[in-house]
Structure 1
Amino acid sequence: MYEDALCRELTLRQIPFESQKILAINYKGHLIGEGRLDLLIDKVLIIELKAVENLMPIHNAQLLSYLKITGLQLGLLINFNVTSLRNGIKRIILT
């Protein structure tokens, strides 16, 4: 639901994005699984969407892993289970 609304808004604003982009996860040259990005914005920003009581360390770890796999530097965790969306956004930078 939230992802659909965000995708619609991105389309209306003509911002390039990919929804549910599949990532191959390799270990020492062997495919061991896959991950799925909620949104990849303009090939530079990963957005992971949540609707949880509180963002947990596992959510940060998930986004950091996706940043490492893709080689990107910036991601956003967005939790929609908050009274004000401003309080549900966490910026993650891979350093």
Structure 2
Amino acid sequence: MELEALTGRVLSAAFRVHSVMGPGLLESVYEAALTHELRKAGLRVATQVEVPAMFDGIRLDVAFRADMIVETLVILELKSVEALAPVHSKQLLNYLKLSGLRVGLLLNFNTVSLKDQIVRLVN
């Protein structure tokens, strides 16, 4: 599946979750609802995926976890915070680099308008 089409489907599902659930819930609630919505749409979703870190040729057991990976192509980093901070984008960019994936979406559900709290990053 083309990345643009896939990210479009992911965002459609995220908008649906946000419109039904609204802002102010825990990140884990949005993760469960979005996982359900994406799987209902026929997409493969892995949650809380360990992203290994390497240093000097060894694997470091530091347990970075990506919130979701859709179709083994797109990392989703979900937040439910007052406002996105620069560190949130840096976190997603690091996950992209460590995983070797190209595209990631940072979504903050704790907002009146989800469309204003979406960051798309490309590695």
Whether TM exceeds 0.5 here: the answer is: yes
Q: Does the CA contact (< 8 Å) of 2:81 and 2:109 recur in 1?
A: yes
Which residue of structure 1 lines up, in the alignment, with residue 32 of structure 2? 4
Q: Structure 1 residue 31: deviation in Å?
A: 2.6
Deviations 1:59-87 (A, max 9, x none): 01100000001111100000011111111
Deviations 1:7-60 (A, max 9, x none): 110111110110111122111112322210100000110000001111111101
Following TM superposition, the consecutive aligned residue runs of length 4 or more in structure 1 with deviations greater than 4 angstroms are none
Match of residue 100, structure 2, among 71, 79, 82? 71
| Higher fraction of helix | 2
Question: Distance between the aligned counterparts of 2:71 and 2:30, measured in 1?
Answer: 19
TM-score normalised to structure 2 length: 0.73
Which residue of structure 2 lines up, in the alignment, with residue 60 of structure 1? 89
Tell me the amino acid that sits aligned with residue 85 of structure 1: L
Unmatched 5+ residue regions in structure 1?
Answer: none
Are residues 1:15 and 2:14 paired? no
Q: Does the CA contact (< 8 Å) of 2:75 and 2:104 recur in 1?
A: yes
Are residues 1:46 and 2:75 paired? yes
- Farther-moved stretch of structure 1 (26-35 vs 54-63): 26-35
- The percentage of aligned residue pairs carrying the same residue is 39
Match of residue 30, structure 1, among 58, 65, 74? 58
Question: Distance between the aligned counterparts of 2:38 and 2:121, measured in 1?
Answer: 21
Which residue of structure 1 lines up, in the alignment, with residue 8 of structure 2? none
Aligned residues: 94
